[in-house]
Amino acid sequence: MHLSYDPCITETTQHHTLTDAESHHAIKVLHMHVGDRIGIINGQGLLAQAIITTIHARKCQVEILSIHQQQPPNYSLHIAIAPTKNTDRIDFCVEKVIEIGATHITFLHTQNAVRRSIKLERYNNIAVSAIKQSQRLFLPEIVGLTNVNDFVAQFPNGYIAHCRDGEKQHLTDIFDGQNPILIGPEGDFTTQEIDRALQCGYQSITLSNNRLRTETAGVCAGVLAMATVKST
């Protein structure tokens, strides 16, 4: 069933008008008709089953047939990552980690980072599209550029993926299903940043025997963390 997104849907909604964009998609792209069924999610765990009652390219109306409220996931998958210079690469990473199951994403500002700004609305749109695609009912929280030193102070304990030599553990052996995973920028975290994180209680992790690009490391961390969560 096609999913539409509207944060305004609540447990008491009976009749509803889809947003402009969702109406356009349902009618002009998917060619839906009166009587067709559609799901509506609010990003807070609610899934409404609805039936289309009035066709309109900008104001498609539906009647709600049933409401299901899901419990929040019993894990947290928080990926904190420095945005790549190439926008496509970080876009792809964000889309993939959300499809896979990320619950929080924070963009990191680091000494070796090249990006000084991020368009948060762009990533919220990617997040909405990704949860609809993967049929997840909770919209991940996305936080804009945050200094990595501030981040590790705010979230003591976690996992840091970096390229510096030294003892590292495989993420799947130690991920607790709660604490954040830091992914280094192109050019890696600086020694100072790594030391600060370790002092705050972070553990150095490895994700692969190969040298991974930033966005590959982000996706890899997401897949491995979710595999750990599912198996516990």
CB of 87 to its own copies, least distance (A): 12
CB of 230 to its own copies, least distance (A): 7
**Would you count residue 66 as binding its own copies (CB under 8 A)?**
no
CB of 75 to its own copies, least distance (A): 11
CB of 155 to its own copies, least distance (A): 24
**Would you count residue 210 as binding its own copies (CB under 8 A)?**
yes
- Beta carbon nearer to its own copies, 72 or 201: 72
**Would you count residue 76 as binding its own copies (CB under 8 A)?**
no
**Would you count residue 223 as binding its own copies (CB under 8 A)?**
yes
Q: For residue 187, what are the contacts with CB-CB under 8 A and spacing of at least 6?
A: 112
**Would you count residue 230 as binding its own copies (CB under 8 A)?**
yes
**Would you count residue 183 as binding its own copies (CB under 8 A)?**
no
**Would you count residue 209 as binding its own copies (CB under 8 A)?**
yes
Angle at 106 between CA 209 and CA 5, to 5 degrees: 110
CA 161/CA 103 separation, integer angstroms: 19
**Would you count residue 136 as binding its own copies (CB under 8 A)?**
yes
DSSP state of 84: P
Q: Which of 76, 172, 179, 203 binds its own copies (CB under 8 A)?
A: 172
**Would you count residue 226 as binding its own copies (CB under 8 A)?**
yes
Phi, psi angle pair for 218, to nearest 5°: -60, -50
**Would you count residue 92 as binding its own copies (CB under 8 A)?**
yes
Count of residues near its own copies by CB under 8 A: 27
CB of 113 to its own copies, least distance (A): 19
Q: What residue has token string 């929040």?
A: 72
Q: Which of 12, 66, 231, 232 binds its own copies (CB under 8 A)?
A: 231
Read off the amino acid at residue 45. Answer: G
**Would you count residue 109 as binding its own copies (CB under 8 A)?**
no
3-state secondary structure of 45: coil
CA 1/CA 42 separation, integer angstroms: 16
Phi, psi angle pair for 16, to nearest 5°: -150, 145
CB of 150 to its own copies, least distance (A): 30
CA 135/CA 17 separation, integer angstroms: 21
Per the CB < 8 A criterion, the answer to whether 23 and 58 are in contact is yes
- Beta carbon nearer to its own copies, 41 or 219: 219
CA 88/CA 96 separation, integer angstroms: 12
Per the CB < 8 A criterion, the answer to whether 122 and 85 are in contact is no
